[in-house]
Amino acid sequence: MKVSSSPISKKINRTISSFILICLLGLIFYSIDASQLPDFDSYYIMYYKGESLGRNYECFYNITLFFQKLGFDYQQFRHVVLLAGLVFASIILRLRRNSYLYHSGSLGIFPDKSIKLLILISIFIFEFYLIRLRAGISIFFFLLFFYALQYPPAYKVNLPLRFILLLGIVLVSALIHLQTFITIALFIGPAALWSRYIKLNGSLNKFLYFTLCLIAWLALFWLGISDSSLEHRGSNLASNLNIVRFVMISILPIMIWPFLRKFYPGNERELRGKKSFPYLYALNYVCSAIALLTYYYFSSVAEVAGEAIVRVMTLSSFGAIISLALGGVAYRNIMALYILVINSLFFLNSIYG
C-alpha cells in the first residue's frame, strides 16, 4: 500500500486542505472594508459605551472590556470575531468528517467535499461574524456546546466537571444574546433530542413531534414578537416584511414539503441518530413556516414586524448548516439546502441589492 493512501496520510491531507480553504476564506473576509457594512457604528458604540445600553448588552460589554484591557481596539476586536467565525467553519467541517460514515453516495447531489460545504456556509459566516457580531458570538458558543454533546472526549473526564463546563458554555451563549439563543435552540433542539433519544416508530410519534414543534413556534412568534417587544427594540426598527421573502421562507416550503418527504428514506424503519436529523430538522422548519404564516395573517403587529421576523427566520440557516454537516450535502438534505441558499441570497440582496 502506498504511504499516500494510508488512513493517516488521508486524514493529514484532509486537515491541511480544510485549513488552507478556511485561511483563504478568512483572507477574503479580512479584505472587506468593514466600515461600509451595516451595524459597524452600532457595534463601535457597544464596544466602548456598552455600559449605557442596559442589561441586555451587559455580557457582551464585559467581553469587550476584557479585550480592551488586553489592548485591543475596536477593529482588532472585529478581527477576533472573524477568527471565531473561521473556527466555527472548522468545527462544522469536523462535524461533517465525523459523520461521514452516515452519508450515502447514492443519495449525493455531488461528492460531499469540504469545499462545497464551506462555500455554502460562507455567507452565513459573513453575516454573523462581520455584521451581526453579538448573535455570531452567541451561535459560536452554542456550537461548542452542541459539538461537545455530539462527540464526548475520548479520554476520561470528571462528569461533574464536564457538566459544569457545558452548562457554562451554554449560559454564555444565552447571556450574550438571549433572543438568538432561544431561536437557534428551537431550530435544532427538537431534532437533536428526538434523533438521539426517540425512534421514529409510527404516525403518532411523528404527529407528537410535529405538534410540539408547532406549539413552540407559535409561542415564540406571539410572545417574542409582540407590541411590547417591538417598542423595546425601537420604533426605527419597524418595517414591512418583503412579500417575496415571506413566500419563499414560509408558503413555498409548506407547499413543497409533501413532495420533498420522499428524499428522506429510512425514517419509516425506526431509525434514530444522525441519519434522522435532516428529516426532523426539515419537519421542524415546516412547523416554523406554518407558525409564521399564521402569525403573519392573524397578528395585529405583523405588518410592522418585518425586521424582527427576518432576524428570527435567518437563524434557520444555523440549523440547516448542522443538518448538512450531520447528513451530508445530499438529497436527504434538500430542505436544508433550500433554506441556506434562500437565506443567503436574500441577505446578499439586502446588503448589495
Average model confidence (pLDDT) across the chain:
85
Total count of domains within the chain: 1
pLDDT (0 to 100) of residue 230: 52
CA gap 280, 192 in Å, rounded: 8
| 250-274 average pLDDT score | 75
pLDDT tens per residue across span 158-191:
778 888 899 999 999 999 999 999 999 999 999 9
| 3-18 average pLDDT score | 65
For residue 150, give its domain range: 3-352
Q: Are 100 and 55 in contact (CB under 8 A)?
A: no
Where is pLDDT greater, at 245 or 305?
245
Q: Using alpha carbons only, give the angle 325, 328, 332 rounded to the nearest 5 degrees.
A: 125
pLDDT tens per residue across span 27-76:
999 999 999 999 999 999 999 988 888 788 889 999 999 999 999 999 99
pLDDT (0 to 100) of residue 1: 39
pLDDT (0 to 100) of residue 110: 40
Q: Residue 239 pairs with which residues in a beta bridge?
A: 305
- 17 pLDDT band, cuts 50/70/90, is confident
- 118 pLDDT band, cuts 50/70/90, is very high
Which of 177-181, 190-194, 267-271 has the least mean pLDDT? 267-271
Exposure letters 56-86 (e unless 16+ CB within 10 A, then b): ebebbbebbeebbeeebebeebbeebbebbb
pLDDT (0 to 100) of residue 232: 55
- pLDDT over 90 percentage in the chain: 55
Q: Are 264 and 200 in contact (CB under 8 A)?
A: no
Q: Is the pLDDT at 202 greater than 80, yes or no?
A: no
pLDDT (0 to 100) of residue 180: 95
